[in-house]
Amino acid sequence: MRVLPVLLTAVPLPLFATPRGRAFFSTDSIDGLLFILLSLVTILLVVAIALKVRTEMMRAKNTARRPVFDTTKFNEYISALSSKSIDAYLTLKKRKQQKNNGALKGMLLILMAGGVYSLPAGAQQIDAKPSALLQETGIIITLILLLIPIVAGVILMAVKVSGLIRRRTRERNLEEATVFADYLTNPDDPVIEQALEQRKQALAYHLHNKELAGEAAAEDARGLVGNINLHTGLSVVAQKQRARQRPAVDPALSKLVMWYLGCAAFWLLFGTTVGEYVGIKFVSPDVDHLSWLSFGRLRPVHTNAVFWGWASLGMLGLGYYVVPRVSNVPLASLKQGRWSLILINAAVILGSVSLMAGINNGGGEYREYIWPVQLLFGIGLVITLYNFINTIAVRTTKEIYISNWYIVAALMFALVISVVAYVPWWQDGLGETIVQGYYMHQGVGMWFMLFTLGIVYYFLPQQLNKPIYSYSLGILAFWAQILFYTLIGTHHFVFSAIPWWLQTVAIVGSVGMVIPVAAGTTNFIMTFRNGWYKIASSYTLPFFLVGIIFYFTGSLQGTAEAFRSTNLIWHFTDFTVAHSHLTMYGIISFFLWAGIYAVVPRLSGKEAPQITVGAHFWLALIGLLFYTIPLMYGSTLKGIMWMQEKPFIDSVIMMAPYWLWRAIGGSLMWLSHLFFAYNLYKMILGDDTTDVKGAAIERLNQSYSEIESTL
Q: Which is nearer to another protein, 296 or 694 (CB)?
A: 296
Q: How far apart are CA 548 and CA 525, in angstroms?
A: 8
From residue 535, alpha-carbon distances to 34, 293, 529, 697 in Å are 33, 43, 11, 25
Pick the closest to residue 344 from 382, 303, 370, 302 (CA basis): 382
Cβ atoms < 10 Å from Cβ of 675: 21
Part in contact with another protein (CB under 8 A); list of ranges 40-48, 124-132, 433-441, 544-552 = 433-441
Residues 678-707 as b/e (b if ≥16 CB within 10 A, e otherwise) read bbbebbbebeeebbbeebbeebbeebbeee
Site map (CB under 6 A) of ligand HEM, residues 550-579, x = contact: -----x--xx-xx----x--xx--x-xx-x
367 binds, among ligand HEM, another protein, none (CB under 5 to 8 A by kind): another protein
Rg for the chain (alpha carbons), in Å? 30
DSSP string, 453-483: HHHHHHHHHHHHTS--S-HHHHHHHHHHHHH
The residue within the footprint of another protein, chosen from 270, 413, 539, 670 (CB under 8 A), is 413
DSSP string, 395-458: -SSSS--HHHHHHHHHHHHHHHHHHHHH-GGG-STHHHHHHHHHHHHHIIIIIIIHHHHHHHHH
Cβ atoms < 10 Å from Cβ of 540: 27
Shortest-Cβ-distance residue relative to ligand HEM: 558
Q: How far apart are CA 36 and CA 27, in angstroms?
A: 10
Part in contact with ligand HEM (CB under 6 A); list of ranges 34-42, 328-336, 398-406, 665-673 = 665-673
Helix (H) or strand (E) holding 184: helix 137-185
Q: How far apart are CA 597 and CA 541, in angstroms?
A: 10
Q: Which is nearer to ligand HEM, 403 or 555 (CB)?
A: 555
Site map (CB under 8 A) of another protein, residues 564-603, x = contact: ----x---xxx-xx--------------------------
Q: Name the minimum Å distance from CB 568 to ligand HEM.
A: 10
408 binds, among ligand HEM, another protein, none (CB under 5 to 8 A by kind): another protein
Q: Name the minimum Å distance from CB 700 to ligand HEM.
A: 40
- Residues whose CB falls within 8 Å of the CB of residue 540, separated by 6 or more in sequence, listed in order: 459, 463, 594, 597, 598
Residues 263-299 as b/e (b if ≥16 CB within 10 A, e otherwise) read bbbbbbbbbbebbbbbbbbbeeeeeeeeeebeeebbb
Helix axes 575-583, 541-562, angle to 10 degrees: 150
Q: Name the minimum Å distance from CB 681 to another protein.
A: 34
Binding of residue 675 to ligand HEM (CB under 6 A): no
Part in contact with ligand HEM (CB under 6 A); list of ranges 100-108, 137-145, 386-394, 442-450 = 442-450
Q: Which is nearer to ligand HEM, 164 or 450 (CB)?
A: 450
Binding of residue 409 to another protein (CB under 8 A): yes
From residue 331, alpha-carbon distances to 106, 393, 408 in Å are 57, 11, 14
Site map (CB under 8 A) of another protein, residues 333-372, x = contact: ----------------------x--xxxxxxxx-xx-xxx
From residue 676, alpha-carbon distances to 105, 536, 639 in Å are 37, 20, 36
Which class for 306: exposed (0-12), middle (13-18), buried (19 or more C-beta within 10 A)? Answer: buried
Q: Name the minimum Å distance from CB 61 to ligand HEM.
A: 39
Q: State which of positions 241-300 bind another protein (CB under 8 A).
A: 281-282, 285-286, 289-291, 294-297, 299-300
Q: Name the minimum Å distance from CB 500 to another protein.
A: 3
Q: Are 553 and 145 in contact (CB under 8 A)?
A: yes
What is the phi/psi pair of residue 18, to 5°?
Answer: -70, 130
Q: Which is nearer to another protein, 7 or 287 (CB)?
A: 287
Q: Which is nearer to another protein, 35 or 371 (CB)?
A: 371
Q: State which of positions 453-512 bind ligand HEM (CB under 6 A).
A: 488, 491-492, 510
Dihedral (Cα; 354, 359, 363, 369), 10-degree rounding: -40
Q: Which is nearer to ligand HEM, 78 or 407 (CB)?
A: 407
The residue within the footprint of ligand HEM, chosen from 584, 594, 684, 696 (CB under 6 A), is 584
The residue within the footprint of ligand HEM, chosen from 140, 385, 407, 444 (CB under 6 A), is 444
Three-state SS for 691? strand
Q: State which of positions 296-335 bind another protein (CB under 8 A).
A: 296-297, 299-300
Binding of residue 65 to another protein (CB under 8 A): no
How many amino acids of this chain bind ligand HEM (CB under 6 A)? 46
Part in contact with ligand HEM (CB under 6 A); list of ranges 94-102, 152-160, 306-314, 541-549 = 306-314
Q: Name the minimum Å distance from CB 265 to ligand HEM.
A: 12
Binding of residue 279 to ligand HEM (CB under 6 A): yes
Chain centroid to CA 180: how far? Answer: 44
438 binds, among ligand HEM, another protein, none (CB under 5 to 8 A by kind): another protein
Q: Are 593 and 622 in contact (CB under 8 A)?
A: no
What is the phi/psi pair of residue 136, to 5°?
Answer: -65, 125
Q: Are 258 and 603 in contact (CB under 8 A)?
A: yes
Q: Name the minimum Å distance from CB 303 to another protein.
A: 9
Q: Which is nearer to ligand HEM, 78 or 347 (CB)?
A: 347
Q: State which of positions 455-494 bind another protein (CB under 8 A).
A: 475, 478-479, 482-483, 486-487, 489-490, 492-493
Q: Are 178 and 600 in contact (CB under 8 A)?
A: no
Q: How far apart are CA 665 and CA 479, in angstroms?
A: 36
Site map (CB under 8 A) of another protein, residues 635-674, x = contact: -------xx-x--xx--xx-----x---------------
At 117, which amino acid appears? Y
Q: Name the minimum Å distance from CB 349 to ligand HEM.
A: 18
Cβ atoms < 10 Å from Cβ of 304: 27
Residues 431-447 as b/e (b if ≥16 CB within 10 A, e otherwise) read ebbbbbbbbbbbbbbbb
List, in sequence order, the alpha helices (H) in 207-332. Answer: 251-283, 295-304, 312-327
Binding of residue 694 to another protein (CB under 8 A): no
Q: Name the minimum Å distance from CB 298 to another protein.
A: 8
Q: Which is nearer to another protein, 212 or 290 (CB)?
A: 290
Q: State which of positions 687-706 bind ligand HEM (CB under 6 A).
A: none
588 binds, among ligand HEM, another protein, none (CB under 5 to 8 A by kind): ligand HEM
645 binds, among another protein, ligand HEM, none (CB under 5 to 8 A by kind): another protein
Q: State which of positions 216-275 bind ligand HEM (CB under 6 A).
A: 272, 275
Binding of residue 304 to ligand HEM (CB under 6 A): no
Q: Which is nearer to ligand HEM, 29 or 273 (CB)?
A: 273
513 binds, among another protein, ligand HEM, none (CB under 5 to 8 A by kind): ligand HEM
Helix (H) or strand (E) holding 99: none
Site map (CB under 8 A) of another protein, residues 506-545, x = contact: ----------------------------------------
Q: How far apart are CA 59 and CA 65, in angstroms?
A: 10
Positions in the binding site for ligand HEM (CB under 6 A): 272, 275-276, 278-279, 299, 302-303, 306, 310-311, 365, 440, 444-445, 448-449, 488, 491-492, 510, 513, 517, 555, 558-559, 561-562, 567, 570-571, 574, 576-577, 579-581, 583-585, 587-589, 666, 669-670
